[in-house]
């Protein structure tokens, strides 16, 4: 990005930050509702780099991050592992679509949070419940976009493939997946975003560690600064995950690298 574009993309965050400064400095927003940026910054440093003796949250970041990442990635992997093949099959095979479509539509109509009580009964408090919720929520956009991508591939490309000696099975990997790749990527990115949202929901339930757990924990103790630290960190890490996902796909697949 050129310098000017970087500046433009930073404009809104900077405006929000100055508003925050203004609100805290003028005393319009009391500290227990909205701690000043400096306080939050200090708490953040302490949370990330502090040593365990420095306070209840000091130095917990690495452990929380690891716990949350494992949950998100596990749930995301399950969602992608089911969503892509099922979506592709539904997009190409009328029979599979008839079998699956109405059930998926029905499940999707249920708000994700409704699954929480059931998940708690099935899996108890802990990693399984969170992974279940993350996988369930991330599944739908991944499935739907893979389906759309597969359905949109024009028959002429299969004919071209068949004419050039590609068998039906090889055509799935040589033609169908590359052609559907832009849609698959869209689905995966949406799924990754939702995965982080449902991570916090899953960690609401009282697990001891994780970025979502820290936020909930800090609310009980009235530590607004730590809540804000958690929110900012989840935003940053979510964005990093999105970037890494796109970069990884581009690294692995020509069809991701060379199509918008």
Partner 1 sequence: MIPATHGELETAGRPVILEITGLSHHFVHDGAVVPVLRELTLTVREGELVCLIGRSGCGKSTLLKIVAGFLAPTAGRCRLDGRPIQRPGPDRGVVFQEDALFPWLTVRENIGFGLTGQHWPRQQRQREVDRILDLVGLQDCGDYLPQALSGGMKQRVALARVLIRFPRLLLMDEPFGALDAQAREEMQELLLDLVRRRRQTILFVTHDVQEAVVIADRVVVLERNGGRIREELTIDLARPRDRGDGRFQACCSRLRQWLRT
Residues at the contact surface with partner 1, assessed by CB under 8 A = 156-157, 159-160, 162-166, 170, 174-175, 178-179, 181, 254-255, 257-259
**Smallest distance from the beta carbon of 108 to partner 1, in angstroms?**
30
Q: Looking at beta carbons only, is 183 or 223 nearer to partner 1?
A: 183
156: Cα within 13 Å, side-chain hemisphere = 1
Tokens standing for 183?
């849609």
Q: Is 221 exposed, middle or buried (0-12, 13-18, 19+ CB in 10 A)?
A: exposed
Inter-residue contact 112 to 106 (CB < 8 Å): no
Q: Looking at beta carbons only, is 170 or 219 nearer to partner 1?
A: 170
Q: Looking at beta carbons only, is 92 or 108 nearer to partner 1?
A: 92
Phi, psi of 131, deg, nearest 5: -60, -40
Total number of residues shown for the chain = 260
**Smallest distance from the beta carbon of 149 to partner 1, in angstroms?**
13
d(CA 256, CA 260): 8
d(CA 57, CA 222): 13
d(CA 200, CA 64): 12
Q: Which residue has the tokens 């420095």?
A: 54
Q: Looking at beta carbons only, is 18 or 159 nearer to partner 1?
A: 159
Q: Looking at beta carbons only, is 239 or 258 nearer to partner 1?
A: 258
Q: Looking at beta carbons only, is 93 or 162 nearer to partner 1?
A: 162
Q: Looking at beta carbons only, is 138 or 181 nearer to partner 1?
A: 181
**Smallest distance from the beta carbon of 257 to partner 1, in angstroms?**
8
List CB contacts of 242: < 8 A, sequence separation 6 or more. 189, 192, 193
**Smallest distance from the beta carbon of 253 to partner 1, in angstroms?**
8
d(CA 24, CA 78): 43
**Smallest distance from the beta carbon of 148 to partner 1, in angstroms?**
17
Q: Which residue has the tokens 């990693």?
A: 127
Cβ atoms within 10 Å, residue 156: 8
**Smallest distance from the beta carbon of 95 to partner 1, in angstroms?**
21
């Amino acid at each position: 990005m050129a310098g000017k574009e970087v500046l433009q993309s930073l404009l809104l965050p900077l405006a929000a930050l100055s508003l925050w400064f203004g609100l805290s400095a003028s005393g319009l927003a009391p500290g227990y509702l909205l701690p000043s940026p400096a306080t939050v910054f200090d708490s953040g440093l302490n949370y990330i780099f502090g040593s365990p003796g420095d306070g209840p949250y000091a130095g917990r970041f690495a452990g929380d991050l690891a716990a949350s990442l494992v949950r998100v990635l596990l749930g995301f992997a399950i969602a992608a592992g089911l969503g892509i093949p099922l979506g592709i099959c539904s997009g190409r095979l009328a029979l599979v679509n008839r079998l699956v479509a109405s059930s998926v539509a029905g499940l999707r109509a249920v708000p994700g949070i409704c699954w929480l009580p059931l998940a708690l009964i099935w899996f108890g408090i802990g990693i399984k419940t969170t992974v279940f919720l993350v996988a369930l929520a991330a599944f739908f956009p991944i499935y739907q976009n893979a389906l759309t991508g597969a359905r949109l591939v024009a028959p002429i490309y299969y004919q071209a493939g068949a004419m050039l000696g590609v068998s039906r099975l090889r055509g799935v990997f040589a033609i169908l997946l590359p052609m559907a790749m832009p849609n698959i990527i869209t689905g995966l990115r949406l799924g990754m975003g939702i995965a982080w949202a449902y991570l916090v929901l899953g960690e609401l339930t009282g697990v001891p560690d994780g970025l979502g757990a820290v936020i909930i924990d800090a609310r009980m103790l009235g530590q607004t600064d730590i809540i804000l630290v958690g929110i900012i960190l989840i935003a940053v890490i979510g964005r990093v995950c999105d970037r890494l996902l796109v970069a990884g796909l581009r690294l692995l697949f020509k069809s991701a690298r060379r199509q918008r």
